[in-house]
Amino acid sequence: MMIKIVKSLYIFLGFFFFGLGLLGIILPLLPTTPFLLLASFFFVKGSEKFEIWFKGTDVYKNHLEGFVKNKAMTLKQKLTILIFADCMIAIPFFLVDSILIRVILLIIVGYKYYYFIWKIKTVT
């Protein structure tokens, strides 16, 4: 019973993030790739049927397949994710008075840039 509830939650979250990813295609403020990566993760955890369906969609093929197969992204995808993540990290950075938390957030930002620059190939 509990496993069925958890799998249903994963499927729901898969569709939720898939919807946000679709909005990200239309709205330049929302990053498409991270939401689709989350959707893929939740579909894999939730149901093999939905995983197969998701991987067969044009959205997956156009926005994620290259990253999943080749660990590569376009420069635009990288910049969109980095800028969006920086904005999200800036909120607690400026709202929190703790020096320790600010240092941790700066380390996260530094590692994020290191990973995107050196570990993920840039393709055209």
Give the model's pLDDT for residue 88: 86
d(CA 72, CA 39): 18
d(CA 92, CA 36): 25
Residue type, 39: A
Only one residue has tokens 């919807």, namely 19
Of 106 and 62, the structure prediction assigns the larger pLDDT to: 106
- When pLDDT is averaged across residues 6-19 and rounded to a whole number, the result is 95
pLDDT in tens, 70-118: 888 888 888 888 888 898 899 999 999 999 999 999 999 999 999 999 9
What is the domain partition of the chain in residue ranges? 1-70, 72-124
Nearest CA to 87 among 117, 122, 112, 67?
112
The percent of residues above 90 in pLDDT, for the chain, comes to 54
Nearest CA to 32 among 72, 81, 75, 70?
81
